[in-house]
A and B are shown apart, each in its own frame.
Chain A
Amino acid sequence: SQELEQSPQSLIVQEGKNLTINCTSSKTLYGLYWYKQKYGEGLIFLMMLQKGGEEKSHEKITAKLDEKKQQSSLHITASQPSHAGIYLCGADDAGGTSYGKLTFGQGTILTVHP
């Protein structure tokens, strides 16, 4: 079955620093989704990647899906306290037959100190 490994599990950075979170899959990905969650709340959709080599950016967050479609990275430039939270990667590993099922990594807890 699909497994997603996120690294690091937690990250503490000083405001203004850049950081990267990785998500590695045991299977080829048909779609890779990045979400952010505040503790105990719902997930906020950040980005979706589908094509190998694809890169998307939104404000100071950039996500990439490698050519082999088994690893993705999320990069935050000049981090701010508002970036703090839990970052989760979710994978669609069955394409059109996944029927609403995403498999998630265990999450990366990001703390940004002012």
Chain B
Amino acid sequence: KAGVTQTPRYLIKTRGQQVTLSCSPISGHRSVSWYQQTPGQGLQFLFEYFSETQRNKGNFPGRFSGRQFSNSRSEMNVSTLELGDSALYLCASSRGPIGEQFFGPGTRLTVL
């Protein structure tokens, strides 16, 4: 069974630009969560989608948004990039609202 995949793996952007990251969950998993990981703040929850609906959101500004498609694939978008948005962005999938979350390899975003 294929694991969680994320594309692209690496991304370099400049301040003010926007970026879209993609996540394909494990087949049969309908919940996708997104996390931001930085050396200073650690792993922080961004949001979760289930059946194309955002059910939970972390404490991030509105520049961070996401969506989920009918095939459970999810995208997250960051607009007006700031230097502080440089981080490893991880997505995780699970079958339901609770239970094991399986993580993808992450997208390393660098904002210059």
Contact = CB atoms under 8 A, between A and B. Distances in A.
Interface residues of A, number: 27
Contacts of A33: 100-101
B48 A101 contact: yes
A94 B45 CA distance: 14
B88 A99 contact: no
Nearest to B53: A99
Nearest to A43: B103
A45 B102 contact: yes
Interface stretch (A10-18, A21-29, A34-42, A75-83): A34-42
Contact of B43 (A45, A88, A96): A88
Contacts of A87: none
B72 interface: no
Given A98-B97, A99-B50, A101-B33, A35 B45 contact: no
B42 A96 contact: no
Contact of B45 (A41, A48, A102): A102
A17 B92 CA distance: 32
B31 interface: yes
A95 interface: yes
Query: Secondary structure of the A side of the interface?
Result: mixed
Query: Secondary structure of the B side of the interface?
Result: strand
Interface string B69-94: 00000000000000000001010101
B50 A100 contact: yes
B33 A42 contact: no
Nearest to B54: A99
B2 interface: no
B102 A101 contact: no
Interface string B48-66: 1110000110100000000
Interface of B: 4, 6, 31-33, 42-43, 45, 48-50, 55-56, 58, 88, 90, 92, 94, 97-106, 108
Interface of A: 30-31, 33, 35, 40-45, 48, 88, 90, 92, 95-107
6 contacts: A40-B106, A48-B99, A88-B43, A98-B98, A99-B50, A100-B33
